[in-house]
Amino acid sequence: MNMKEYIDEAEAALLHTYNRYQVVLDQGEGVYLYDIEGKKYLDFVSGIAVFALGYQNKEYNDALKAQIDKVIHTSNYYYNVPAIEAAKKLKKVSGMDRVFFTNSGAEAIEGAIKAARKYAYLKDGQTDHEIIAMEHSFHGRTMGALSVTGNPKYREAFQPMIGNIRFAQINDLESVKAQVTEKTCAILLETVQGEGGIYPAEEEFLKQVRALCDEKDILLILDEIQCGMGRTGTMFAWQRFGVKPDIMTTAKALGCGVPVGAFLMTEKVGQHSLTSGDHGTTYGGNPLACAAVSKVLDLFEENHILENVNSVGEYLSRKLDELVEKYDVFTAHRGVGLMHGLVSGQPVGDIINRALNNGLILINAGPNIIRFVPPLIISKENVDDMIAILEKSIAEE
């Protein structure tokens, strides 16, 4: 079948919950993707911040093939070596103490919410505790994750949400304090807001929220699903400032394409929250997913991924600043590492579509922001190529 025939088949068979770009991708190599007709695309999306190591990494692929030839799934009634090794490595790079593997970022958020509420329940036996989340946040599509997502358009059709959620403004401590009550059990935020427009939490704000949590025995939950796994130049974005959470969520690049997430916690929370029977998952932590996690963490270290993010990320940031200076269509640029947003005064969909036609894959973060979340292995030459295609796409307006 040709491209159109495949797309027509998809539209007839798949539930229409995505407005997909009109391309059928077939394979990848390095930082490039190819469609079924052989057209080459420079990828600055990486599966929405997932394929950190790029496509066709031989060591990664070989590790998965080897595990497939052993066993893919056993369930959590039994131990398996890949999960044990992955948990040990994840603890090392995060500084956290306990790990629960999930199948997605949304499931990691669900687990984090349950852990926080169980922690509070064990303190006073009450079930009316509250969680403070941030406006413009995005934490996932499941009911619990939607409940703490600070954008009404995602929630309104699915009301009622889980109760006792309050919303504050990121980087505004007074707005957080205004929502704190004696029932507050947790404050939840993305260390860098992704879908909401690439808004990094500021160092002073994070430190103040951490101090507030310490003062009132409130748990700090940091969502590192998109901004974690090296994307900001440290393994997790909070490590830039040394503001350690009580609970942390991760996913996306954790498995570099294999569906896997995790929520992690300190020993204190681990000893005073979820226990046997409180939480579970059939697929979570299976040998195949954890073999991916284990190999990804090895390759991050062996291939000096963080060093590349810091070097190329600084270069990308300068180039995006230059675009803001050069083109009236752009009003601002913000971001860190290899997670950036280029802000426009108008919708950016047409630019993104023209870029796709010109061989560059980009996505938005809200209607007016072009998001840049490329594989973490990109080079400065890749950045130059991206800028050239983007400028061509702007000029075609």
- Tens of pLDDT, residue by residue over 334-371, are 999 999 999 999 999 999 999 999 999 999 999 999 99
* CATH, domain 3-53+304-395, list 3.40.50.10860, 3.40.50.300, 1.25.40.10, 3.90.1150.10: 3.90.1150.10
Instruction: Report pLDDT digits (tens) over 231-276.
Output: 999 999 999 999 999 999 999 999 999 999 999 999 999 999 999 9
From-to residues of CATH 3.90.1150.10 in the chain = 3-53+304-395
Compute φ and ψ for 36, nearest 5 degrees. -70, -10
Q: Which CATH architecture has domain 60-302?
A: 3-Layer(aba) Sandwich (3.40)
Q: Please tell me the predicted confidence (pLDDT) of residue 25.
A: 97
Average pLDDT value for residue range 292-317: 98
Does 397 have pLDDT greater than 80?
Answer: no
Does 324 have pLDDT greater than 90?
Answer: yes
From-to residues of CATH 3.40.640.10 in the chain = 60-302
Strands (E), the chain: 25-29, 32-35, 40-43, 98-102, 130-134, 165-168, 184-190, 192-193, 199-200, 219-223, 247-250, 261-265, 330-336, 339-344, 360-361, 363-364, 369-372
Q: How far is CA 312 from CA 190, 297, 319, 347, in A?
A: 23, 20, 11, 27
pLDDT > 90 in the chain, percent: 99
Q: Please tell me the predicted confidence (pLDDT) of residue 315.
A: 98
